[in-house]
A and B are shown apart, each in its own frame.
Chain A
Amino acid sequence: MAKNDLIGGSLWEQYSAKVSERMNDPRHRGEISEAEAKALGARLVVADWGAEACGDAVRLYWAVDPKTDRILAAKFKSFGCGTAIASSDMMAELSVGKTVDQALEITNIEVERSLRDNADTPAIPPQKMHCSVMAYDVIKKAASVYKGVDMASLVEEDIVCECARVGLRTIKDVIRINDLKTVEEITQYTKAGAFCKSCLRPGGHEKRKYYLVDILRDTRMAMEQEKLFAQADAADFAAKNLIQKHRAIEKALDEKIRPALAADGGSLEVVDIREADGKVNIYIRYLGACKGCVSSTKGTLQFIENMLHQELAENIRVIPV
């Protein structure tokens, strides 16, 4: 990369042909009037997102069929750079034909991928990713207008970056979806922290409830943990350590045993797990109606043991205490 980086590329050279094409001649530019929506038998939805002072603002027009919630037509207007225009254009295109709920599933990542000339080359440089996030946000806004609900019910109310109006969930999503590792990347993708910088880390311009450094650390930690759990869950029962075995046993009990016991007003808890002589001994205590039930040492016990043999391993022995 160094050789290519040294003379510095123009941002514009990194745009895909599709991006350039839509910057020069956006297919869905313009507006939908009340009369046009009416002619389609549709309800007009208009949503604004962003602000001039932030450098990006977009307005989305949808004609939505009120019977099917289907988006029959979409147009946009934009105060934004070429990338914002191209992303808004693609976003509008992707939303046509979908229901409002389906449109809510469109992410900025999908918008960017749809703008690629080939699958492996990003359509826009990373510094420009935030422009496609705008397209993602305005859909949520439009859906909230259509549904007559507060946008907060569709997006998080926890705004992390006031300047760019970026919320906690968006930031966590962007970290997860794009596997972001630095605060700078979060800023590139979402614009959070690009303005007054207060939300980057404590000690800035003003005090904030959330800081990007903390969100990044916590989210990365959660991702790391989930990865470990996923790996542990995937491993063979015999190869698991005691804690992982406990998790697997609890999971199997939750899924296969406890619902059946609960139907009769009972339950059980795991008291101990001990490994000895090639066996896994699970000590359980019956709760509720199971306590003192005649079957609890015979049929029910057999049922539990069989199920665990089937789900986890043959060498499991269940011992009521």
Chain B
Amino acid sequence: MNRIYLDNNATTIVDPRVKEAMEPFFCQQYGNPNSLHSFGTETHPAMRLAMDRLYAGIGAGDEDDIIINSCACEGNNHVLKSVYFDLIRNGPKSEIVTTQVEHPCVLNCCAFLESLGAKVKYMPVNSDGTVDGETLRQHIHPDRTALVSVMWANNETGLVFPVQELAEICRKNGILFHSDAVQAIGKVSVDLGRVPVDFLTFSAHKFHGPKGVGGLFIRKGLKLTPLLHGGEQMSGKRAGTVNVPYLIGMGLAMEMAVDNLAYEDSSVRRLRDRLEDAILAIPDTMVVGKRKLRTPNTILASFRGIEGEAMIWDLNANGVAASTGSACASESLEPNPTFVAMGISDDLAHTSIRFSLSRFSTAEEIDQAAEVIRQSAQRLREISSTYKNDK
């Protein structure tokens, strides 16, 4: 069966050119970059090129740091835990402010820090599904708030948060600002020359790089206690031998992601809209969030009368890979905070399916997927006890 991958917010295919760029660093130039001999030093030019590409990709300055680590989950843990160690554990601050809709790696990390005595405030989203400046102002306090952490784009809905406005408010109030940009890189412009965030995190595998490698941007002059103590790699800021081939792959993946932003915004968006229109042509469906507020690749759709996991099972059986944030076995049985804020009925809380495209998605795939989705919705509504076919 010809399978169609529409779960690119979970992970992406590695671009074959990225794989090719990594190839020589497994069996030929396999030296440890910290070694003094030629095996070590011969890795340096490619690593420098990769770092240049990463810095250019997010608009970082030469005085800023981009710590190479294992993923955004590590980066998020690093920022939150180290801010706790540096500013909260022994003062002078006491609070972290984040949102109710962050990725579990931020929310669970915050819950852990709460157990250690930190105070964490979780901002609700507004009727657009994002956080606005007014809400942020109500939650921060210049003397108490150590850090504000707000994702650049939401993994489930694709909604893009007004990071520039939020970061500027924090800057004015002397509060550190972190953004988890894992769903933003390669989908929308992330330019830290313009947006005053202090910490930013990303993972290569979300933009056609390999899994298991990511980056943590630290604005110049800021200190962050290491999460991993050990050797002097990354100037002592993150111990552990750098994963050379993966860094090289991530560098190229970043460059291509940024080069493809225009394609993403035009062609991927067009395909996304085509799929979205096809879904909305099915009766009793809706899509969460305004199109112009979302990343160009994401659709969180709701099919009335169909439980989400049953639908992804059926889609999978017919060759379409999608995901649901509301699987009935998942921990998050509480109403989705985005749904609540946007006034979406509780009845739809378990009916959402996420489709996420990439620059590898084709028009043929989208049309085929649209047909599979239509048939699946029809089949499942026929056996649905809650869907009224005559409505």
Number of interface residues of A (CB under 8 A): 34
Cβ A52 vs Cβ B386 within 8 A? yes
For B327, the chain A residues whose CB sits under 8 A away are: 11, 81
User: Is A131 within 8 A of B306, CB to CB?
Assistant: no
Given A12-B313, A55-B326, is A78 in contact with B347 using a C-beta cutoff of 8 Å? no
From 376 to 391 in chain B, residues with beta carbon under 8 angstroms from any chain A beta carbon are: 382-387
| Interface set, chain A 46-91, CB cutoff 8 A to B | 48, 51-59, 76-82, 84-85
Which B residues are CB-close (under 8 A) to A245? Answer: none
B309: A residues at CB distance < 8 A = 81-82
Query: CB < 8 Å: which of B333, B384, B385, B387 contacts A194?
Result: B333
Which A residues touch B348, using CB under 8 A?
52
* Contact pick for B383, options A12, A29, A127, A194, CB 8 Å: A29
Closest to B324 in A: A81
Q: How far is the CB of B338 from chain A (nearest CB, A)?
A: 16
| CB of A26 closer than 8 Å to a CB of B | yes
Interfacial chain A residues near B333, Cβ < 8 Å: 55, 191, 194-195
B36 in the interface, Cβ–Cβ < 8 Å?
A: no
**Cβ < 8 Å to B, chain A residues 1-54:** 11-12, 23-24, 26, 29-30, 48, 51-54
Partner of B328, one of A12, A51, A58, A81: A81
Distance in Å from the Cβ of B380 to the closest Cβ of chain A? 9
Known pairs A53-B349, A195-B333; A77 contacts B383 (CB<8 A): yes
Are B307 and A24 neighbours in the complex by a CB distance under 8 Å?
A: no
A128 near B: Cβ within 8 Å?
A: yes
A280–B183 alpha-carbon span in the complex (Å): 81
Chain B residue with Cβ nearest A30: B383
**How far apart sit A131 and B348, CA to CA, in the bound complex (Å)?**
18
Q: Is B1 an interface position by the 8 A CB rule?
A: no
In whole angstroms, how far apart are the Cα atoms of A80 and B326 in the complex? Answer: 12
**Given A128-B329, A195-B333, are A58 and B307 neighbors across the interface (CB < 8 Å)?**
no
Which residues of chain A are near B387, meaning CB under 8 Å? 79
Distance (whole angstroms) from the CB of A188 to the closest CB of chain B: 9
CB distance from A118 to the nearest CB of B (A): 23
- Pairwise interchain contact A53-B313, C-beta atoms closer than 8 A: no
Judged by a CB distance under 8 angstroms, whether B114 is at the interface is: no
Number of B residues, CB within 8 Å of A: 27
In the bound complex, what is the Cα–Cα distance between A315 and B188 (angstroms)?
A: 92
A29 vs B345: C-alpha distance when bound (angstroms): 27
B332-362 interface bits toward A, Cβ cutoff 8 Å, 1 = contact, 0 = none: 0110000000000111111100000000000
In the bound complex, CA of A239 to CA of B368 (Å):
77
Interface residue ranges of B260-314 to A (CB < 8 Å): 305-310, 313
Does B313 lie within 8 Å of A77, measured CB to CB?
no
Are B349 and A55 closer than 8 Å at their CB atoms? Answer: yes
Task: State the CA gap A195–B328 with chains docked (Å).
Answer: 11
Using a CB–CB cutoff of 8 Å, the interface residues on chain A facing chain B are: 11-12, 23-24, 26, 29-30, 48, 51-59, 76-82, 84-85, 125, 127-128, 131, 191, 194-196
Produce 1/0 per residue, B221-237, CB < 8 A to A: 00000000000000000
Knowing A81-B328, A81-B329, A127-B329 touch, does A55 contact B385 (C-beta < 8 A)?
A: no
CA distance A139 to B310 in the complex (A): 22
Contact call B347/A53, Cβ cutoff below 8 A:
yes
Chain A, residue nearest B351 (CB): A52
**What residues on B are CB-neighbors of A131 within 8 Å?**
328
Complexed CA–CA distance, A85 and B317 (Å):
15
The digit string for B216-254, where 1 denotes a CB below 8 A from any CB of A, is 000000000000000000000000000000000000000
Interface centre among B307, B317, B328, B347 (most CB of A within 10 A): B328
Cα(A85)–Cα(B328), bound, Å: 13
Contacts of B307 in A (CB 8 A): 55-56, 78-81, 84
- Closest Cβ neighbor of A12 among chain B residues: B313
Q: Which residues of B contact A51 (CB under 8 A)?
A: 347
- Are A56 and B328 in contact, CB atoms less than 8 angstroms apart? yes
Find out whether the CB atom of B383 lies under 8 angstroms from the CB atom of A78: yes
Contact with A along B135-158 (1 / 0, CB 8 A): 000000000000000000000000
Q: Please indicate the chain B residues that have their CB under 8 angstroms from the CB of A52 in the complex.
A: 305, 346-348, 350-351, 386
Q: Are A82 and B385 in contact (CB under 8 A)?
A: no
Contact A48 B310 (CB under 8 A): no
B178-207 near A? 1/0 per residue, CB < 8 Å: 000000000000000000000000000000
Q: A23-B313, A79-B385, A84-B307 are in contact. List 17 more A-B contacts (CB 8 A).
A: A12-B313, A24-B317, A29-B383, A52-B350, A53-B345, A53-B346, A53-B349, A77-B383, A78-B383, A79-B384, A80-B328, A81-B309, A81-B313, A81-B329, A82-B309, A131-B328, A195-B334
CB neighbours (8 Å) of B313 from chain A are 12, 23, 81-82
- Residue in contact with A55 in the complex, picked from B350, B382, B384, CB distance below 8 Å: B350
**Which of A12, A51, A56, A81 has the most chain B CB within a 10 Å cutoff?**
A81
Bound complex: CA A279 to CA B347 (Å): 72
**What are the nearest 4 A-B pairs in CB distance?**
A59-B385, A53-B346, A77-B385, A81-B309
Q: Closest chain B residue to A58 by CB distance?
A: B385
Most B CB within 10 A of own CB, among A48, A55, A196: A55
What chain A residues lie within 8 Å of B317 (beta carbons)? 24
Smallest beta-carbon distance B313→chain A, Å: 5
Q: Which residues of the other chain, B, contact A79 by a CB distance below 8 angstroms?
A: 305-307, 384-387
Give the chain B neighbours of A82 by CB distance below 8 A: 309-310, 313
Are A57 and B310 in contact, CB atoms less than 8 angstroms apart?
no
With a cutoff of 8 Å between Cβ atoms, the chain B residues found around residue A80 in the complex are: 307, 310, 328
Q: Which residues of A contact B329 (CB under 8 A)?
A: 11, 81, 125, 127-128
**How close is A90's CB to chain B, nearest CB, in angstroms?**
15
With both chains docked as a complex, state the minimum distance between the C-beta of B16 and any C-beta of chain A, in angstroms. Answer: 26
A84 to B384, CA, bound (A): 12
Residue of A nearest to B387 (CB): A79
Shortest distance from the beta carbon of A5 to any chain B beta carbon, whole Å: 16
Query: How far, in Å, is B347 (CB) from chain A's closest CB?
Result: 4
CA distance A131 to B329 in the complex (A): 9
